[in-house]
Amino acid sequence: MNVPVVKVISTCMSIGIMVSINQRLDAETINIVAEEFGFKTEYVSAEVVEAINEEEDREEDLEPRAPIVTVMGHVDHGKTSLLDNIRQTNVIAGEAGGITQHIGAYNVKLKSGRRITFLDTPGHEAFTAMRARGAKVTDIAIIIVAADDNVMPQTVEAINHASAAGVPIVFAINKIDKPGANPEKIKETLAGMNYLVESWGGKYQSQDISAKQGLGVDELLEKVLLEAELLDLKANPDRRAKGSVIESSLDKGRGYLSTVLVENGTLKKGDIVLAGTYFGRVKAMFNERNQNVESAAPSAPALILGLNGAPQAGDVFHVLETEQEAREIATKREQLQREQGLRTQKILTLDDIGRRIAIGNFQQLNVIVKGDVDGSVEALSDSLIRLSTEEIQVNVIHKAVGQISESDITLAAASDAIIIGFQVRPSQAARRAADKDGVEIRLYSIIYDAIEEVKSAMEGMLSPEIKEVQTGYVEVREVFKITKVGTVAGCMVKEGKLKRANKIRLIRDGIVIYSGELGSLKRFKDDVKEVASGYECGLNIHNYNDIKIGDIIEPFEEIEVKKTL
Ligand code: GDP
């Protein structure tokens, strides 16, 4: 813009943003600042998608394509059994030959002659990880629930992950051959969650099945096809292919192998493929039965050889005209990726909300609510939803009891959501993932505080004056019961430090059990003021004795934070 830096900084200050000279600004701030100086801004996507000329398909070239289906559900409810059953019973005689290999996806032809493609990495983690990378591969999700069990936490997660992605759901109620099976109870629970199945007068299709005995599986697939018809899935086989990477690996003998799923066009041997930051000419292609193939049509998976690296699952691939073009885009992407890696990614924080509302481009706030007991999760979610105003819709895209998990972080990253934890904590892995992905986790011990903070953020007045800062991470290694003194814990300070004066929280399996103060803090026999990371110590908690091995003690300080606006 050819204006001195100080002017830019003072403009930022005038809108309440304190910046330094080498700080990156987010898009909204850039808009405002540029406008102040009479400039208009235009954004070039980091993905350089524009660099690839997308051919427009003409209506008459489009042909129906097979739906792409993912099976999700709670562990041991029968995902693998169902996928195996479908794979084994639907190989048509003439097509057989070669045992089905695991390449990440397979395509089956039903007796009716119609086809379905299954992604055979079951589980919603994979599903959402791919979505976080921009791939919307799945057309329909089968959510499997065991009829001799219940709607379990992972079932709820799977449903919420599918809903957040806007993917239609077909329920498969499994294990109906078992004596204790009660499919109606499952449907009742689903109804309670507002997922009313068809036999109960709702819009969700469901089918009772036994994956083990193959009962009802054909009917299930018919229902999937019915759902697919509504989606009117079409593709143009007569164009250069594009699609998504499902898996990739390095094979000692053959080089880089990638399984791709063609979404549009036809992928042929000899094509030049660009996937993520890698490219190459397709040297050979195999189908899921390890047979050499010359081409792969829309919705068909193929294992391809010839890329110069292993793209990530969820990366989009394109076929380009020349190798040079592919190389140029790959290099450019690599540069951008390196630069983005330097910049810490930031999804959305409560503090951003007020600013974005002021600019007027903020319409919905997605939140994930995790809590220690069902009652508080429900109460908190309901109150948050009630905060919705005409301008801003608050969506609780997932709520559950328990620790904040890695899969919550992936869902938040994919859905631009913030996570609100009530009396729960993220697991170590989730904490790391949140740092990496820039997902904001807000932890509260009082429901009212959580609601007030979100509310004031929505009103654009967020200014927390007292903020709790966690100053360490202490693991309980041993416990001793000593008469008159109570429970003494032998601990290890794993991160940060533990001060005698700190307030503390006791966490068990990610749930806050107790908040209070230390009664004593010792190293060997001596009382100490603080213990640093990597050292052992002994302590007891004032007025509290129920400490167990494996518990985590979290010291925290309350600090005053200056108002940001
Ligand atoms: P996943 O963890 O969801 O992939 O579940 P699996 O497919 O591995 O199944 C878990 C267990 O349930 C296995 O021991 C299966 O044999 C069993 N199972 C799966 N489907 C059925 C079914 O329809 N009937 C019965 N009786 N058992 C089943």
Give the pLDDT confidence score for residue 80 in this predicted structure. 87
How far, CA to CA in Å, does 350 sit from each of 163, 355, 356?
A: 23, 10, 10
Q: Is residue 54 situated within a structural domain?
A: no
CA 77–ligand 1 middle distance (angstroms): 6
Count of structural domains within the chain: 5
CA of 542 to the centre of ligand 1 (A): 48
Same domain, 459 and 471: no
How close is the Cα of 509 to the center of ligand 1, in Å? 28
Q: Which atom of ligand 1 is nearest to 74's Cα?
A: 3
pLDDT at position 60 is 85
**Residue 183 CB–ligand 1 contact under 6 Å:** no
Give the end of a domain, one of 421, 446, 463: 463
* 375: enclosing H helix or E strand: helix 374-386
For residues 103 and 209, membership in a common domain is answered with yes
Tell me, in angstroms, the distance from the centre of ligand 1 to residue 16's CA. Answer: 57
Nearest CA to ligand 1 atom 24: 175
**Ligand 1 atom nearest to 83, measured from its CA:** 7
Residue 245 and residue 254: Cα distance in Å, rounded?
18
| 79 CB near ligand 1 (under 6 Å) | yes
Pocket test for ligand 1, best of 121, 148, 177, 212 (most atoms within 8 A of CB): 212
The two beta strands, 486-499 and 536-541, are antiparallel
pLDDT of residue 562: 45
Cβ of 80 closer than 6 Å to ligand 1, yes or no, is yes
Q: Which atom of ligand 1 is nearest to the CA of 213?
A: 23
- The residue type found at 116 is I
Residue 58 forms part of a structural domain: no
Q: Which atom of ligand 1 is nearest to the CA of 84?
A: 7
Q: Does residue 103 fall inside a structural domain?
A: yes
Indicate whether 323 and 175 sit together in one domain.
no
pTM value? 0.65
Residue 78 Cβ < 6 Å to ligand 1 = yes
| Residue 313, domain member (yes or no) | yes
* Domain end point (choices 234, 266, 295): 234
CATH code of residue 420: 3.40.50.10050
Please tell me the distance from the alpha carbon of residue 248 to that of residue 269, in angstroms, as a whole number: 18
The answer, yes or no, to whether any atom of ligand 1 lies below 6 A from the CB of 154, is: no
| Cβ pair 258, 92 in contact under 8 A | no
Examine the domain organization and report whether 74 and 196 are in the same domain: yes
Q: If you search the block for the tokens 């129906």, which residue do you land on? A: 64
Residues in the chain: 565
User: According to the model, what pLDDT value does residue 206 have?
Assistant: 95
Residues 291, 97: contact at Cβ < 8 Å?
yes
| Ligand 1 contact via 520 beta carbon (within 6 Å) | no
C-alpha span between 282 and 269 (Å, rounded): 5
Domain that holds residue 506: 467-561
pLDDT for 564: 39
Question: What does the block give as tokens for 84?
Answer: 């195996």
Is residue 211 lining ligand 1, measured as CB closer than 6 Å? yes
Q: Say whether both 173 and 187 belong to one domain.
A: yes
Round to whole Å and give the CA distance between 348 and 392. Answer: 15
Asked which of 340, 367, 395 is the last residue of a domain, the reply is 340
228-257 CB burial, b ≥16 within 10 A, e <16:
beeeebebbbebbbbbbbbbbeeeeeeebb
81 Cα–ligand 1 center, Å: 6
Instruction: Supply the residue whose CA is at minimum distance from atom 14 of ligand 1.
Output: 76
Q: For position 560, what pLDDT does the model report? A: 65
Ligand 1 centre to CA of 389 (Å) is 45
Return per-residue pLDDT of the chain as tens, 565 residues: 888 888 888 888 887 777 887 777 777 788 888 988 988 887 765 555 546 767 778 888 899 999 999 999 888 899 989 998 988 876 544 444 555 667 788 888 888 889 999 988 766 777 777 776 666 789 999 999 999 999 998 899 889 888 888 899 999 999 999 999 999 999 999 999 989 999 898 999 999 999 999 999 999 999 999 999 999 999 999 999 999 998 888 887 888 899 999 999 999 999 999 998 899 999 999 988 888 999 999 999 999 999 998 888 888 899 999 999 899 888 888 877 766 655 445 566 676 666 666 655 567 788 999 988 888 888 888 889 888 877 778 889 888 888 898 889 988 988 888 999 998 889 888 988 888 888 889 999 888 888 888 888 777 654 445 677 888 999 999 999 888 888 999 999 998 999 998 899 999 988 888 999 999 999 988 999 999 999 999 999 998 999 999 999 999 988 766 443 2
Return the best residue to mutate from 71, 74, 76 for the ligand 1 pocket (most ligand atoms within 8 A of CB).
Answer: 76
Same domain, 412 and 299: no
Per-residue pLDDT, 348: 66
Query: Which numbered atom of ligand 1 lies nearest the CA of 75?
Result: 2
Does a structural domain hold residue 450? yes
What is the pLDDT, as a whole number, of residue 243?
93
Provide the pairing of β-strand 105-109 with 68-73.
unpaired
